[in-house]
């Protein structure tokens, strides 16, 4: 029986299946967070006199058992009980009917998704930090000259470390974005009810503190209406991460070909051919590029679902849940894959150096003429019309020594500067993570002692 049933409905089974779809499998991921949110809600209800001490104890004992069963993968949701909220409510028995006091499934799911997303942000942050550390470590052995490219044509000299650390800094941007997404999500929606609050004496500040939120969703309609927008913002973060990873993947595919030969990919990350014995295929990198498009597609779909939606809760938004979860799983897997690829690759320094042919230094030769007083446009023409006519061997041999400015190819302080920035972000995230984890652990502990 549905939680909303009044005993007369006879919902067509095909309609039921169509509406519920695979939603129950995504709700399974939310069991922990629904239970944790319900612990905080029960504590608030008792403090406000809306349930008594005995009822609170029974609710907390039941929720502790839910968490225990879920941890061992034994709390399996029943589709006939509709969703995670009603499955838990039915599991608690008679006292479960009291748990829904002053609460709607609308603010419940808004809360569950926020707690789930905050937990996933912690995992994503740790994976980004791991990659940054691996890029820094690999860059220690990469201060060798190599061609830099624009339009996939040789452009100017760079170093492999300069190249690797460019992705380090791009991922730092993603980490900074992640912190901003956390701050947007770090607002308690519980107490908004169906969107319009409650006549009951609910205290949103209690659940805010218990759940480790920094702020409240002040307007109850906004608290529910922010669903879809929150998922879109989160998927936008995933999209930017995947864009960066896809660019690394494309470069590594090219650099590992025989024609380039700048790097060797480990046997741990390459596959073979069923017919060509010599093949080493960069399959995971090719698949990552495709998956980056898939995550971008999820972001686009969720954004489109959310666009033009009427205020208040609408069932359309249910379809965003699975897309977000799948996007998170893909992105976490992709971060792990790139970390393995970077940590196991070999750098072919001689091949890189050999590829630095004379035309690569053309812009630098033009700069020498500028230093001698020639206007840049004249110098550009002179070098462009006669590439081999002006050669400064000293510029070729000492190119990187001339480019030790901040962030330039010869700047060996670059890794240290970026590491300091990473440390600042990491410390900020640690504070947020500690507050969140502490709140969750305390709620689980409170329930356990009942």
Buried b (16+ CB within 10 A) or exposed e, 330-346: bbbebbebbbebbbebe
Number of neighbouring beta carbons within 10 Å of residue 102? 22
**Integer CA distances (angstroms), 426 to 58, 178, 242, 304, in order:** 40, 11, 20, 33
Sign of the torsion angle spanned by Cα atoms 419, 423, 429, 434: positive
3-class DSSP string for the chain: CCCCCCCCCCCCHHHHHHHHCCHHHHHHCCHHHHHHHHHHHHHHHHHCCCCCHHHHHHHHHHHHHHHHHHHCCCCCCCHHHCCHHHHHHHHCHHHHHHHCCCCCHHHHHHHHHHHHHHHHHHHHHHHHHHHHHHHHHHHCCCCCEEEEEECCEEEEEEEHHHHHHHHHHHHHHHHHHHHHHHHHHCEECCCCCCCCCCCCCCCHHHHHHHCCCCEECCCHHHHHHCCCHHHHHHHHHHHHHHHHHHHHHHHHHHHCCCCCCCEECCHHHCECCCCCCCCCECHHHHHHHHHHHHHHHHHHHHHHHHCCCCCCCCHHHHHHHHHHHHHHHHHHHHHHHHHHHHHHCEECHHHHHHCCCHHHHHHHHHHHHHHCCCCHHHHHHHHHHCHHHCCCHHHHHCCCCCCCCCCCCCCCCHHHHHHHHHHHHHHHHHHHHHHHHHHHHHHHHHHHCC
Fold of the CATH domain 13-101:
Fumarase C; Chain B, domain 1 (1.10.275)
Q: pLDDT digit string (tens) for 333-358?
A: 999 999 999 999 999 999 999 999 99
DSSP bridge partners of 263 = 347
| pTM across the whole model | 0.93
Residues serving a catalytic function are 151, 273
Q: pLDDT digit string (tens) for 395-436?
A: 888 888 888 888 999 999 999 999 999 999 999 999 999 999
Q: What is the model's pLDDT at position 13?
A: 72
Residue 4 has pLDDT above 60, yes or no: no
Which residues lie closer than 8 Å to 426 by C-beta, 6 or more apart?
A: 125, 129
The length of the chain is: 450
Query: 106-192+218-355+413-436 — its CATH code?
Result: 1.20.200.10
Interval 53-71 mean pLDDT: 97
Q: In degrees, to the nearest 5, what angle opens at C-alpha 124 toward C-alphas 122 and 130?
A: 105
Distance CA 439, CA 206 (A): 12
Range in 169-178, 353-362, 370-379, 382-391 with the lowest mean pLDDT? 382-391
Range in 51-60, 77-86, 142-151 with the lowest mean pLDDT? 77-86
Q: What is the model's pLDDT at position 19?
A: 66
């Amino acid at each position: 029986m549905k939680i909303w049933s009044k005993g007369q409905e006879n919902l067509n089974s095909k309609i039921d299946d169509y509406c519920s779809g695979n939603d129950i499998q995504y709700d399974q991921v939310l069991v922990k967070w629904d239970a944790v949110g319900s612990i905080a809600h029960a504590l608030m209800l008792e403090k406000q006199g809306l349930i008594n001490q005995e009822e609170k104890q029974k609710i907390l004992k039941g929720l502790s058992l839910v968490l225990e069963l879920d941890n061992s993968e034994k709390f399996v949701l029943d589709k006939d009980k509709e969703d995670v909220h009603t499955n838990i409510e039915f599991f608690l028995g008679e006292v479960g009917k009291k748990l829904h006091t002053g609460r709607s499934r609308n603010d419940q799911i808004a809360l569950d998704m926020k707690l789930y997303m905050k937990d996933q942000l912690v995992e994503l942050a740790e994976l980004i930090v791991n990659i940054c550390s691996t890029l820094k470590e690999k860059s220690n052995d990469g201060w060798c000259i190599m061609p830099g490219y624009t339009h996939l044509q040789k452009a100017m000299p760079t170093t492999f470390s300069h190249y690797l650390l460019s992705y380090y800094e791009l991922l730092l941007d993603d980490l900074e974005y992640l912190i901003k997404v956390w701050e947007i999500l770090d607002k308690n929606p519980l107490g908004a009810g169906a969107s319009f609050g409650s006549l009951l004496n609910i205290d949103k500040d209690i659940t805010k503190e218990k759940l480790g939120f920094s702020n409240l969703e002040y307007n109850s309609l906004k608290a529910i209406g922010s669903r879809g927008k929150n998922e879109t913002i989160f998927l936008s973060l995933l999209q930017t991460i995947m864009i960066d990873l896809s660019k690394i993947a494309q470069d590594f595919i090219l650099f590992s070909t025989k024609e380039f030969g700048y790097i060797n990919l480990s046997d741990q990350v390459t596959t073979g051919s069923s017919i060509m014995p010599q093949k080493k295929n960069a399959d995971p990198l090719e698949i990552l590029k495709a998956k980056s498009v898939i995550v971008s597609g999820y972001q686009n779909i969720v954004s489109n679902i959310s666009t033009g939606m009427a205020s208040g809760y609408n069932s359309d938004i249910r379809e965003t849940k699975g897309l977000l979860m799948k996007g998170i799983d893909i992105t976490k897997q992709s971060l792990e894959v790139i970390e393995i690829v970077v940590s196991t690759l070999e750098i072919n320094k001689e091949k890189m150096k050999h590829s630095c042919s004379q035309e690569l230094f053309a812009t630098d030769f033009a700069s020498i003429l500028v230093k001698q007083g020639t206007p840049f446009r004249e110098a550009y023409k002179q070098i462009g019309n006669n590439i081999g006519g002006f050669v400064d061997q000293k510029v070729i041999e000492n190119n990187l020594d001339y480019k030790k400015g901040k962030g330039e190819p010869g700047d060996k302080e670059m890794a240290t500067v970026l590491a300091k920035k990473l440390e600042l972000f990491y410390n900020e995230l640690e504070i947020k993570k500690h507050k969140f984890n502490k709140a969750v652990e305390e709620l689980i502990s409170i329930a356990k002692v009942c």
